[in-house]
Amino acid sequence: MQKPSNNPVTLPFGATSDPYTAASPHKGVDFGWINSAGQSDKTIYMPEDGTVTLVPNNGNDGNGVYFNNGSHFHGLLHTSQYLVSNGQFASQGTAVAVMGATGAADGVHLHWALKVNGQFVNGLDYVTKEEDMSKSPDLNEDDIKNMLRWAGVDPDTQNSQNYIKTWSDIGDWNKFIYDFQKQPAFQNALRAKFGGTVTRDDVLNYLNGNLK
């Protein structure tokens, strides 16, 4: 099995910051549309061989690509464009769709759901071990403190210290950026500062020195 996207994970399996399931654990793996080189890459690939079922406008799933190879059931959700036909057999690694924001999606991304024996599981646990599982650049305490200051949040409060420790331990920029952009307290501060909702792209622009 391979990952359906070459891009960094933006929301891991089991996370509780999923805006569409409240406190419920995230039942899939989300991939962003920006690759590790900072370029747009919205292509979605078959994680395994299978015959696809295409279901457009499928409620919260949006435009979905589904297939069951007998032992694994896959859902590739929120797509904007299909690259294969309904009922077509596609081998592992075939480009089958393009990322989108259809259904219950707060932005362009891929939600990859995997069920084994009827239960949602972390697809990354099933990816071929030889595949590169590299993550984004290391995240340290000073980086997080600078982001809090940028949002007008005191990094020395107990809540901030707990937040800093949590994300220092995780140490992954991509996951941190996604979570940071979702926090209501940070959004309120940034909205007051910039006069509107601040998106994940705004955070990325800030990190690249384009937004102060």
Per-residue pLDDT, 88: 94
Numbers of helices and strands, H then E, in the chain = 5, 11
Report yes or no: 124 and 133 within 8 Å, Cβ to Cβ: yes
pTM: 0.59
Mean pLDDT of the chain: 78
Class of 9-126 in CATH: mainly beta
Report pLDDT digits (tens) over 146-199.
777 777 778 888 888 887 887 777 766 666 666 666 666 666 666 666 555 555
Say which residues have a Cβ less than 8 Å from residue 124's Cβ, sequence separation at least 6: 3, 9, 12, 13, 29, 133
Q: Where are the domains of the chain?
A: 9-126, 141-207
Each residue of 17-68: pLDDT tens digit?
A: 555 554 567 888 999 888 766 777 889 999 999 999 999 999 989 999 999 9
